[in-house]
Amino acid sequence: RKEVEQDPGPFNVPEGATVAFNCTYSNSASQSFFWYRQDCRKEPKLLMSVYSSGNEDGRFTAQLNRASQYISLLIRDSKLSDSATYLCVVNVGTGGFKTIFGAGTRLFVKA
């Protein structure tokens, strides 16, 4: 079983749709959580950090449920420019870093 698992995708949605990404992690020592975005043949870039209290940045909302070891990302009013791969990322432990990436979920937003 992978340490970080994401919906396999791809997701194909029309502009304006709401789309939800799900992620689960298996290591209870996980300390911090993120969503990264990766465009085709480009490097990953931070989209947002994820906190137990939840956080929102414009059309994007991220949630963390530590009890269920579950992370989510919601995109409202999808734009064509949201088309990308969304990576769930978990940092495990303290001190030295162990960063685990999910395999990613590809999103296609169509006009």
CB 64 within 8 A of CB 73: no
Q: Cα dihedral sign for 49, 29, 2, 20?
A: negative
Residue 106 CB neighbour total at 10 angstroms? 16
Least distance in angstroms from the C-beta of 27 to other proteins = 13
Figure out which of the listed residues 4, 64, 71, 107 binds other proteins, where binding follows CB under 8 A. 4
Interface residues for other proteins in 48-87 (CB under 8 A)?
49, 87
Least distance in angstroms from the C-beta of 12 to other proteins = 18
Figure out which of the listed residues 1, 14, 28, 43 binds other proteins, where binding follows CB under 8 A. 43
What is d(CA 25, CA 54) in angstroms, rounded to the nearest whole number? 17
What is d(CA 89, CA 60) in angstroms, rounded to the nearest whole number? 16
Task: Specify the residue, 76 or 106, whose C-beta has the smaller distance to other proteins.
Answer: 106
Least distance in angstroms from the C-beta of 39 to other proteins = 12
Residue 22 CB neighbour total at 10 angstroms? 13
Q: Report the interface residues with other proteins, using CB under 8 A.
A: 4, 31-32, 34, 41-46, 49, 87, 91, 93-94, 96-104
